[in-house]
């Protein structure tokens, strides 16, 4: 039985990955903060081992669980709650670097890093700068570790993930929940910017495909784009969600301006993942229908 460490295992993405790993008979260890809510994994807590990183030495999970085959790093700090730059860097650069160093010492095979599609050559949104730059710095450090031959480092640039149960602060969740609740009005930009929306089940299946295929990857460092491979206008996403919920909410497109340096189009190149035999299966309409059902329960 292979043992996998998952960081951010109490979060939206991490909890889905943990459940899938258990289903596939992996031994799962999660690293979290003592303050992390565990409601997403409350029904499987007895099937996993948990360590609070704010009170446990980083080496302990490795010493107590035998060989750790892989690490799936999902934990992140977005900076949406007024965190200081130093706090964002601590969570997005320093902590995973310490984990990567420890994994290398204990001969872990592969480190799967969750990166962001914001790390492009495009000028970044001001409110995402610390987040994006801290993530970019860690992926560059991961490349150095990999190129030294110490560990395989798989960097996954994740597009606009969505699904039921995600945080209300996320755009897709806010829109669908607001439409379901029939709030009086949603003020929006003109909505011409395009995003690559990918449903959570497709995201998880891609991680599993990479986990099961890493031995076939000849290099020690890889970048993989993870999305649907299609760019959809924000306006089209919102209009579709509004229609499928039969909402009476007024959609006020153009009521607020675009952000400074708005990214007008983001679309993943999923050819590398397709070459491994992975393809997204959930259409945007089907994904929204599943979200509506999940958020309505």
How far is 31 from 10, CA to CA, in rounded Å?
9
Which two structure tokens, joined as six digits, stand for 175?
């829109």
Tokens of 93: 């650069």
| Catalytic residue ranges | 131
Interstrand relation of 3-7 and 185-188 (parallel, antiparallel or unpaired): unpaired
Contact call for residues 52 and 34 (beta carbons, < 8 A): yes
Residue whose structure tokens are 């829109």: 175
Axis-axis angle for helices 171-180, 284-296 (nearest 10): 60
Half-sphere exposure of 38 (CA within 13 A, CB side): 17
């Amino acid at each position: 039985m292979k043992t996998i460490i998952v960081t951010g295992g109490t979060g939206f993405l991490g909890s889905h990955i943990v459940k899938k790993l258990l289903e596939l008979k992996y031994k799962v260890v999660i690293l979290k903060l003592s303050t992390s809510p565990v409601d997403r994994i409350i029904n499987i807590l007895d099937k996993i081992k948990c360590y609070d990183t704010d009170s446990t030495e980083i080496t302990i999970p490795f010493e107590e669980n035998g060989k750790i085959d892989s690490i799936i790093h999902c934990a992140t700090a977005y900076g949406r709650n007024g965190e200081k730059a130093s706090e964002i860097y601590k969570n997005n650069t320093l902590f995973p670097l310490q984990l990567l160093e420890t994994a290398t010492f204990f001969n872990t095979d592969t480190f799967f890093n969750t990166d962001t599609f914001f790390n492009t050559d495009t000028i970044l949104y001001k409110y995402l700068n610390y987040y994006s730059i801290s993530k970019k710095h860690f992926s560059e450090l991961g490349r150095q570790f990999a190129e030294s031959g110490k560990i395989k480092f798989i960097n996954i640039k994740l597009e606009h993930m969505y699904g039921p149960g995600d945080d209300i602060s996320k755009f897709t969740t806010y829109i669908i929940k607001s439409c379901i609740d029939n709030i009086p009005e949603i003020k929006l930009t003109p909505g011409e910017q395009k995003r690559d929306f990918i449903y959570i089940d497709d995201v998880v299946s891609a991680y599993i495909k990479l986990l099961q295929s890493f031995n076939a990857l000849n290099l020690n460092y890889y970048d993989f784009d993870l999305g649907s491979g299609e760019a959809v206008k924000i306006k089209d996403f919102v209009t579709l969600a509004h229609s499928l919920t039969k909402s009476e909410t007024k959609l006020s497109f153009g009521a607020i301006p675009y952000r400074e340096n708005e990214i007008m189009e983001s679309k993943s190149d999923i050819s590398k993942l397709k070459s491994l035999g992975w393809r997204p299966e959930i259409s945007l309409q089907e994904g929204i229908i599943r979200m509506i059902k999940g958020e309505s329960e």
